[in-house]
């Protein structure tokens, strides 16, 4: 193969770290349709906070060029597609970005190029949806003129220890030779090594089941928390005890949002239904996890009403609005379910999240999020997200009186700081 030149399409949470990692060894061109994102990255600002300004500067001084013009990628011979694959309001796969990206790459594809998909999809999607678009727009034949691969991404945003180079990468290719080339390519930058899957479809399936399995495990624990609430026992206390057995799986209750665990099971369910199988456990898990915001609010009020009656002055502080701890990502955050419940109950609430871009959250959800704690006191406090900063707050200062409830959704506080938890 001639000198490797990589084009990365979609520079978000996944694409940017991928591009920076490859730029340590190869020439990399990063493309995003969002010109604002490209402008910021050109100023070495990554608003996903995954790559530091220093690392971006080093990458750009080395081999990394950014553009919002796909035609600049024409001279690349490897394309890596890392665009979003969300669900629509009916919980069905929304492949719009994947389709557009495949069309754009198809138009600039040359003979012998390799297109590798990293976006999470259902098994079969790469070859059934994307390859025909590449063929159509390149007017070339798959596995004859151009080749494909699939390598699912496993990064964990906000996790500064398990970075891309330190996570084993599953790779696959459309034929033996391409698989070899793709494996060599990823092995050259992934310190943890690679795992070669038997086919593209196997690699696609491996990714969705990793997240579907996690979703179901959490759903089981969430269901337990509903049962244990009726029995007046603390779920985390039960898990602490059960975890002393060697083969008990230590999952904790909580809200399940984001664009992976809360989304990927729907991709698998969609494909299963198309093939004539209606999944039961996968969708039941989704249903339980989606019900947790409402349950948290009902538990909160159960604890509060033990001693108090509601008035129009009753107020609630919600700590955290992102979908997970220590990162600014709030896509599909289930904290929204808590907001909606409180709004329905006509209870005043404030939201504090030090990680969130308040303006963008307001324009998406019409809810004001403060980055700092206000000088106010509250009747109820919900610790909804496990940001490290919430572990060191002086909760006494936020309490309106001794009856203030501190509801610790994620079980991050020590006794006796919290009043109740799932």
Ligand X SMILES: NC(=O)c1ccc[n+]([C@@H]2O[C@H](COP(=O)([O-])OP(=O)(O)OC[C@H]3O[C@@H](n4cnc5c(N)ncnc54)[C@H](O)[C@@H]3O)[C@@H](O)[C@H]2O)c1
Q: Site residues (CB under 6 A) for ligand X?
A: 9-15, 31-34, 37, 82-85, 97, 100-101, 119-120, 153, 155, 157, 259-260
Structure tokens at 88: 């629509």
CB of 334 to ligand X, least distance (A): 16
CB of 15 to ligand X, least distance (A): 6
CB of 271 to ligand X, least distance (A): 15
Helix 292-305 and helix 281-290, axial crossing angle in degrees, nearest 10 = 40
Quick check: is 125 catalytic? no
CB of 11 to ligand X, least distance (A): 5
State how far the Cα of 85 lies from the Cα of 203, in Å rounded to an integer.
Answer: 16
State how far the Cα of 395 lies from the Cα of 77, in Å rounded to an integer.
Answer: 56
CB of 234 to ligand X, least distance (A): 30
**Between 100 and 140, CB nearer to ligand X:** 100
State how far the Cα of 108 lies from the Cα of 307, in Å rounded to an integer.
Answer: 68
Three-state SS at 416: coil
**Between 85 and 183, CB nearer to ligand X:** 85
Instruction: Estimate to the nearest angstrom the gap between the alpha carbon of 405 and the chain centroid.
Output: 30
CB neighbourhood size of 102 (10 A): 28
State how far the Cα of 99 lies from the Cα of 130, in Å rounded to an integer.
Answer: 7
**Nearest residue to ligand X, scored by beta-carbon proximity:** 12
Helix, strand and coil content of the chain, in percent to the nearest 5, comes to: 40, 15, 45
CB of 203 to ligand X, least distance (A): 13
Helix 281-290 and helix 200-230, axial crossing angle in degrees, nearest 10 = 50
**Between 7 and 320, CB nearer to ligand X:** 7
**Vertex 277, ends 198 and 204: CA angle to 5°?**
25
**Between 49 and 196, CB nearer to ligand X:** 49
**Between 128 and 344, CB nearer to ligand X:** 128
State how far the Cα of 199 lies from the Cα of 236, in Å rounded to an integer.
Answer: 40
**Between 68 and 234, CB nearer to ligand X:** 68
**Between 31 and 295, CB nearer to ligand X:** 31
CB neighbourhood size of 125 (10 A): 25
**Between 157 and 173, CB nearer to ligand X:** 157
- Size (the chain), residues: 422
Structure tokens at 177: 């030779």
Pick the catalytic residue from 125, 130, 260, 327. 260
Q: 370 forms bridges with which residues in the sheet?
A: 352
Closest CA to 272 of 367, 205, 177: 205
CB of 364 to ligand X, least distance (A): 13
| 232 φ/ψ angles, rounded to the nearest 5 degrees | 60, 40
CB of 7 to ligand X, least distance (A): 10
Instruction: Estimate to the nearest angstrom the gap between the alpha carbon of 412 and the chain centroid.
Output: 21
Three-state SS at 201: helix
State how far the Cα of 267 lies from the Cα of 120, in Å rounded to an integer.
Answer: 9
Three-state SS at 217: helix
Q: 150 forms bridges with which residues in the sheet?
A: 117
State how far the Cα of 267 lies from the Cα of 86, in Å rounded to an integer.
Answer: 9
The residues annotated as belonging to the active site are 260
């Amino acid at each position: 193969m001639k000198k490797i030149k990589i084009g990365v399409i979609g520079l978000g949470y996944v694409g940017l770290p991928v591009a920076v990692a490859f730029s340590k060894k190869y020439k990399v061109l990063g493309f995003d349709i969002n010109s604002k994102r490209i402008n910021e990255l050109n100023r070495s600002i990554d608003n996903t906070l995954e790559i530091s300004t220093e690392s971006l500067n080093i990458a750009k001084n080395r081999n990394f060029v950014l553009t919002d013009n796909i035609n600049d990628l024409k001279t690349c011979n490897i394309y890596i597609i890392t665009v979003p694959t969300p669900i629509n309001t009916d919980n069905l796969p929304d492949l719009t970005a994947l389709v557009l990206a495949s069309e754009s790459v198809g138009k600039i594809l040359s003979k012998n190029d390799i297109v590798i998909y990293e976006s999470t999809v259902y098994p079969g999607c790469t070859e059934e949806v994307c390859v025909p678009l590449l063929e159509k727009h390149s007017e070339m034949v798959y596995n004859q003129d151009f080749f494909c691969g699939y390598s699912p991404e496993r990064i964990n945003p906000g996790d500064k220890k398990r970075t891309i180079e330190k996570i084993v990468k599953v790779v696959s290719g459309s034929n033996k030779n391409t698989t070899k080339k793709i494996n060599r390519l990823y092995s050259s930058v992934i310190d943890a090594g690679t795992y070669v899957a038997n086919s593209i479809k196997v690699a696609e399936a491996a990714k969705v089941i990793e997240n579907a399995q996690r979703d179901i495990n959490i759903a089981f624990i969430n269901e337990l928390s509903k049962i244990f609430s009726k029995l007046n026992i603390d779920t985390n206390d039960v898990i602490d005890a059960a975890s002393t057995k060697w083969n008990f799986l230590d999952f904790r209750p909580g809200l399940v949002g984001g664009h992976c665990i809360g989304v990927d099971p729907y991709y698998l369910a969609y494909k299963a239904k198309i093939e004539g199988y209606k999944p039961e456990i996968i969708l039941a898990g989704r249903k339980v996890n989606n019900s947790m915001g409402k349950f948290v609010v009902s538990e909160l009020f159960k604890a509060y009403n033990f001693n108090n009656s509601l008035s129009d002055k009753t107020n609630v502080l919600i700590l955290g609005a992102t979908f997970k701890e220590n990162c600014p990502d709030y896509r599909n955050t289930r904290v929204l379910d808590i907001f909606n419940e409180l709004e329905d109950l006509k209870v005043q609430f404030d939201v504090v999240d030090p990680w969130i871009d308040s303006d963008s959250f307001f324009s998406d959800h019409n809810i004001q999020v403060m980055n700092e704690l206000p000088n106010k006191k509250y009747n109820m406090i919900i610790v909804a997200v496990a940001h490290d900063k919430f572990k060191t707050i002086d909760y006494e200062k936020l309490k309106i009186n001794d009856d203030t409830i501190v509801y610790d959704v994620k079980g991050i506080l020590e006794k006796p700081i919290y009043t109740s938890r799932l």
